[in-house]
Structure 1
């Protein structure tokens, strides 16, 4: 007999202790939470190691799993503190660690191999190859990118070797998670480090022809839970570690009702929190202007009115843990045993001698032991052995209370995982190079100045441009693979790799974990899309096969000095940084896609112009001013400088290279990015 499909998990956010209790009491099967450090929701209440231990005990006593998010990028000086977080999760007996940075994954594997690894949505995994790559690296689950359609999720799930987790409710970022640098470059607060300032929620105008926002409505895919479960998704995730307990309880309850096939109150859920309503555009494959919305005063008023009605969902313990009672009745007294399905046993004895009974006492005993309200237990079985005499109901009530209290204490006992001391990389110092060699990345072949190609250390072009590169120059060319490969794009990229291998190119630029499977065995270089910020992550990527890597330009130069992975490092020294990579089009509200020229401009409230370019199934929103380090190249602790050309003409690219080579100042407005930002 084959087993039926596994029940879908409802996974709830727990930004603090009150939200955690609301999640558990309203029916969540698992919660995810963060410690005070390295949480992608840095401004949530979060938990100390001691609070984490208590929260885990509370949840495990109620058959609720606990996943700890250590899901930010880590700087070199933070690895020891990150190891402390791994230790705290292991000692608390947490069920899994949610990570973005491969350094956090490496620490967990070394220190606590019994701690399961879940790949955060910040890893930007959105394709079958990405999922298979995570599985090969020892992950047991991946949180898929939120931009996928139901058909794309189903295709990934079809042959997935690990569990899939999908967001079904809560806030939607405009950018593909893990690929947003807008807050970092515009406000100095990195979303990859849990400090997003939310600049995308501010007003933007498109081409001066009307209001267009980078702000999406909140996701609500609660109605799609049965289809997601049928597709093979293991966990339905609710976003909201910055939200209150009422929000958590309302979302968990709605998910439970949907999975059970019962009606749920979408209007109430919307009143609790929304941004001008909900969207399910990604899952439905309907990416249009209806996805956009902002939080209005009317939304706020509706929330104030709705919250009191929701509190009843988590006011009392949810009786979800089965308990088996056995009452052994003898002439001198009663022994009551309470046993759970994990094998925990609690035994209590009655202090009173039963009196002779005129009628059968079993129905009264059954009724007394069934009264488990106020506890997480329900009576799954009640057995009465022997010939029971008469005892007052208060005696049976006290026996039941004492037995369940002892059983709960046993279930709350710590279950720490084995944890070893961390093995951290030896301290290193990457020297600055006075004659920093230059690499250049071009958007298209016609953008590349022919006179500069022989003078560059090497150059990078999108793989779609491969056939335009003369054979004599291919040994200097690295072919860039797309940061996003939604739907059929992955198969197309795999075909392009097959068509170009053996043609003399230097290698391929990996921008996503999927590329390590798609280009396995071929020379690989790491792009900034991998978000590499510390020596342990760099070491992990070197083991995966990288011959060189690009340091994430969010990393200050003072921290960059510690990156010595044993392969060359590249640092961005020029370029209009892609601030966002989006699947939904920010120009859709004002542009007819059938007549669109695949480009446009967004204007913010300070009248800054943000170029938008469309291609490969995504849109890129670029910083209006370039990052530039020309006269300070000698301060960059890397093996080469990388000039990133995206919007420039060939003449503009040549001029930028000329200024870099001369170590000359930039003649217009520019930024140093975060290179000189002090450590927090």
Structure 2
């Protein structure tokens, strides 16, 4: 501490300084928060931004989430520390929820939330009209994985795209180079095995929809890969039975490459994780980013090491939670290396092996440290045995900590054998370290504050404060007086003015410039300190709202009128049509034999079928035209960058065909690609676009999409509110695709050794995933080696056709992409007779029952009504 300097005027001047650790770079570190404790953990451990959800409208309904006042407090707390807050509104929203949503969005705007994260295209369309002042980010649930998709997001008003987690480094680089939008990617945490937003497995099986934030994670359950005869094709392989459970993502060592690629934000997954997890992972990634800054600086000078994590940080990152780690698709296609086949939950870290056990004791040779309170799991031949370390002994003596190399004695009443592996699944020391980082009253994320005190007897005390890039001056209410005793000293002022509590400041520098011995009541000093801090923090607030409540309501009313006008503009008439989706020429023949008037060609090409080549599509379109049959060419649900380039070439050729086909797009990237190629190309929207409300319908209609297939997750009452006109199509029969994934369990398990070309075992199918209840879910592999998982039961709303017709639906779809020629013919004939030729509202009950029995004979696996009656709300 510097001594006071003597000056002729008897002024006392002293400076003390404390330097915080420097921040790291321009890459935003974005951390999750599912609770207030997790939020503080993220902020206090170095997050640049935090994403969190309110009590409604977010894709993690199982988290504690934030009520209105908690949201306000979180935004204030974060902004005082120069941290941004992004609020998740990343679910599909029903029409009846829009009034509540509109109020909620303005509340988020009014408290100063920095952005909202959206999935629903209808909600994005709403925000573009009623609140362009609020920044919107496109959730990974929107399944954007190409530069075409990002360009579409630009046109929709998004400021940021959260890319799908299936992208490679090269694809990320291509996207970053092609857009001015900020690009956000996941770098750590749990992975979905399916493209997010495209997974309907939990929804169809149990009614808990991932698109509504209630996913039950059926991918983490046990499955068996079986063949047509029901035989386990992996019996004896010792692979494990969690065939859909991925490892956890970890790109901590790839941060330099992500920076080079041009990524803007690094996202940590984990809104369902405990705050200690958030604290640990955020802290380690923050340190890695700081180290990256130093490494890159050293490289400029010709030196530097590329390692970004210390060994202890790697251990902590593994210890806090892991299902084993993967880099996913960042560097290459991982195959089986993506998966955690043997267990779907935390593995912990290797602790040692059992030496012996019995009589309530376990002897364990340690490979790493063990402490009282740690959690231990023993991997026995019969399963996993867990215990909490309460009595820890070494060489007969009770200890609180044991080191690597020690043989420890633990209380244990389970069964184990010598040589069993033991893992530490809970590290008490690490958890306490994490908890201390966000303990109330001990916050460490603070900014330096410089205070200068000036004055003399007979004038007001002047306090100049500098912090957060701002400067202000405040004055005491009363006057300084000559001190008879206990004058204002440097130490006294430091104690009083340095009491900054939970504010985001620490007193770095104090300068005292007082003439003579003076005094001021302590209450005045405290008020000066509070005023100075409040004044500096006031600059962090948004100030006067640019959008007033009245102006907002006027915009809402204008948008509502626009939506109604759009609905009125849609033709309400039209004949009833049965659309038949087929995947190959055999299906096409069956549909034509049954007299189908509208056929949807293509989509995915299954390796179990020949499929349609572009030339075969051209001939099919010409044939349908001659027969007076309407035809539509369905594009695949997923295209990556390379496949999009291939399809662009195909479509350029198709544009020259004598009869140009109508195209049905299944994602935003395809929509943008076709619009760029020819803005007048007739388009339709497939169900994978998740159109769930009137706003979504309005968006696509205004993009001149002439027919929109509704989400299969809609309830009949929701459909009834949307129906009316010939612009909507509804799935009523056929295969329900539950999942599409870059991972193929058939190829990963049976396709050969790692690094070798897959031998294509999928061609020897069919294969099924059998669950614990002995249901066999069909698997298909497409020609791009993606897995498609189907519901074991077939959607069948034949008995509800009268109700559907009464709603005003004109087009119904039969999804017969996996049916043979004869089944296509019979199914189409039955539905056409009821829908097109007869009056579905007046069907005879006996005829309905007879036809349902006929359908049951064609599909003995059974039927489901999907969400027509149960819905997902």
* TM-score, normalization by structure 2: 0.71
1:212-227 to 2 correspondence within 5 Å? 212-227=242-257
- After superposition, the Cα gap between the structure-2 partners of 1:151 and 1:205, relative to the gap in structure 1 and judged at 3 Å, is same
- Counterpart secondary structure, 1:41: coil
Q: Residue 594 of structure 2 contacts residue 826 of structure 2 at CA under 8 Å; is this kept in 1?
A: no
- After superposition, the Cα gap between the structure-2 partners of 1:48 and 1:450, relative to the gap in structure 1 and judged at 3 Å, is same
| Post-superposition offset of 1:88 | 1.7
> Hey, what does 2:47 align to over in structure 1?
28
Matches of 1:544 and 1:679 in 2, distance apart?
28
> Hey, what does 1:472 align to over in structure 2?
623
Matches of 1:400 and 1:266 in 2, distance apart?
46
> Hey, what does 1:314 align to over in structure 2?
438
> Hey, what does 1:496 align to over in structure 2?
650
| Post-superposition offset of 1:442 | 1.3
> Hey, what does 2:825 align to over in structure 1?
654
> Hey, what does 2:662 align to over in structure 1?
507
- Counterpart secondary structure, 2:224: strand
Q: Residue 212 of structure 1 contacts residue 586 of structure 1 at CA under 8 Å; is this kept in 2?
A: no
> Hey, what does 1:595 align to over in structure 2?
759
- After superposition, the Cα gap between the structure-2 partners of 1:107 and 1:23, relative to the gap in structure 1 and judged at 3 Å, is same
- After superposition, the Cα gap between the structure-2 partners of 1:434 and 1:662, relative to the gap in structure 1 and judged at 3 Å, is farther
Matches of 1:284 and 1:443 in 2, distance apart?
33
Matches of 1:573 and 1:339 in 2, distance apart?
67
Q: Residue 321 of structure 2 contacts residue 347 of structure 2 at CA under 8 Å; is this kept in 1?
A: no
2:319 to 267, 271, 275: 271
Matches of 2:107 and 2:799 in 1, distance apart?
45
Q: Residue 180 of structure 1 contacts residue 581 of structure 1 at CA under 8 Å; is this kept in 2?
A: yes
Q: Deviations over 1:461-506 (max 9, x none)?
A: 2376331132232572211222211231111111111111142133
Matches of 1:451 and 1:178 in 2, distance apart?
31
Matches of 2:509 and 2:288 in 1, distance apart?
29
2:461 to 312, 330, 334: 334
| Post-superposition offset of 1:403 | 4.8
1:6-405 to 2 correspondence within 5 Å? 7-207=26-226, 208-210=232-234, 211-261=241-291, 263-264=309-310, 265-275=313-323, 277-293=324-340, 294-296=343-345, 299=348, 301=376, 302-303=425-426, 305=428, 306-315=430-439, 316-332=442-458, 334-341=461-468, 343=470, 345=472, 347-349=474-476, 352-353=480-481, 374-378=502-506, 398=526, 401-403=529-531, 405=533
| Post-superposition offset of 1:164 | 0.4
RMSD: 3.4
| Post-superposition offset of 1:346 | 6.3
Matches of 1:477 and 1:112 in 2, distance apart?
40
> Hey, what does 2:596 align to over in structure 1?
456
Q: Deviations over 1:621-645 (max 9, x none)?
A: 1112210112322222422111112
Q: Residue 574 of structure 2 contacts residue 810 of structure 2 at CA under 8 Å; is this kept in 1?
A: no
Q: Residue 218 of structure 1 contacts residue 274 of structure 1 at CA under 8 Å; is this kept in 2?
A: yes
Q: Residue 744 of structure 2 contacts residue 785 of structure 2 at CA under 8 Å; is this kept in 1?
A: no
Matches of 1:540 and 1:447 in 2, distance apart?
33
The answer to whether 1:607 aligns with 2:774 is yes
Q: Residue 55 of structure 2 contacts residue 65 of structure 2 at CA under 8 Å; is this kept in 1?
A: yes
Q: Residue 199 of structure 2 contacts residue 210 of structure 2 at CA under 8 Å; is this kept in 1?
A: yes
Specify every segment of 5 or more residues in structure 2 that has no aligned partner in the other structure, as ranges: 1-23, 227-231, 235-240, 292-307, 349-374, 377-424, 604-611, 753-757, 835-850
Question: Which range moves more in the overlay, 299-308 or 597-606?
Answer: 299-308
Question: Which range moves more in the overlay, 346-355 or 556-565?
Answer: 346-355
Question: Which range moves more in the overlay, 106-115 or 381-390?
Answer: 381-390
Q: Residue 32 of structure 2 contacts residue 38 of structure 2 at CA under 8 Å; is this kept in 1?
A: yes
Matches of 1:347 and 1:361 in 2, distance apart?
20
Question: Which range moves more in the overlay, 170-179 or 425-434?
Answer: 425-434
| Post-superposition offset of 1:323 | 4.0
Q: Residue 6 of structure 1 contacts residue 234 of structure 1 at CA under 8 Å; is this kept in 2?
A: no
| Post-superposition offset of 1:341 | 3.9
Matches of 1:677 and 1:557 in 2, distance apart?
9
| Post-superposition offset of 1:330 | 3.7
The answer to whether 1:671 aligns with 2:864 is yes
Question: Which range moves more in the overlay, 591-600 or 377-386?
Answer: 377-386
Matches of 1:356 and 1:90 in 2, distance apart?
54
Q: Deviations over 1:226-262 (max 9, x none)?
A: 2212211111111111111111111111110111115
What count of residue pairs does the alignment treat as equivalent? Answer: 675
Q: Residue 247 of structure 2 contacts residue 325 of structure 2 at CA under 8 Å; is this kept in 1?
A: yes
Q: Residue 361 of structure 1 contacts residue 388 of structure 1 at CA under 8 Å; is this kept in 2?
A: no
> Hey, what does 1:528 align to over in structure 2?
687
Q: Deviations over 1:153-172 (max 9, x none)?
A: 11211122200011111111
Question: Which range moves more in the overlay, 449-458 or 577-586?
Answer: 449-458
- After superposition, the Cα gap between the structure-2 partners of 1:565 and 1:161, relative to the gap in structure 1 and judged at 3 Å, is farther
Q: Residue 572 of structure 1 contacts residue 643 of structure 1 at CA under 8 Å; is this kept in 2?
A: yes
Q: Residue 160 of structure 2 contacts residue 182 of structure 2 at CA under 8 Å; is this kept in 1?
A: yes
> Hey, what does 2:672 align to over in structure 1?
517
- Counterpart secondary structure, 2:721: coil
| Post-superposition offset of 1:193 | 0.9
- After superposition, the Cα gap between the structure-2 partners of 1:506 and 1:356, relative to the gap in structure 1 and judged at 3 Å, is farther
Question: Which range moves more in the overlay, 398-407 or 24-33?
Answer: 398-407
- After superposition, the Cα gap between the structure-2 partners of 1:679 and 1:309, relative to the gap in structure 1 and judged at 3 Å, is closer
Matches of 2:149 and 2:724 in 1, distance apart?
23
| Post-superposition offset of 1:435 | 7.5
- After superposition, the Cα gap between the structure-2 partners of 1:92 and 1:501, relative to the gap in structure 1 and judged at 3 Å, is same
| Post-superposition offset of 1:588 | 4.4
Question: Which range moves more in the overlay, 301-310 or 612-621?
Answer: 301-310
- Counterpart secondary structure, 2:749: coil
The answer to whether 1:626 aligns with 2:794 is yes
Matches of 1:388 and 1:280 in 2, distance apart?
66
Q: Residue 368 of structure 1 contacts residue 393 of structure 1 at CA under 8 Å; is this kept in 2?
A: no
Matches of 1:535 and 1:565 in 2, distance apart?
11
> Hey, what does 1:481 align to over in structure 2?
635
Specify every segment of 5 or more residues in structure 1 that has no aligned partner in the other structure, as ranges: none
| Post-superposition offset of 1:337 | 2.4
| Post-superposition offset of 1:659 | 3.0
Q: Deviations over 1:374-394 (max 9, x none)?
A: 531245776666768687999
| Post-superposition offset of 1:361 | 8.3
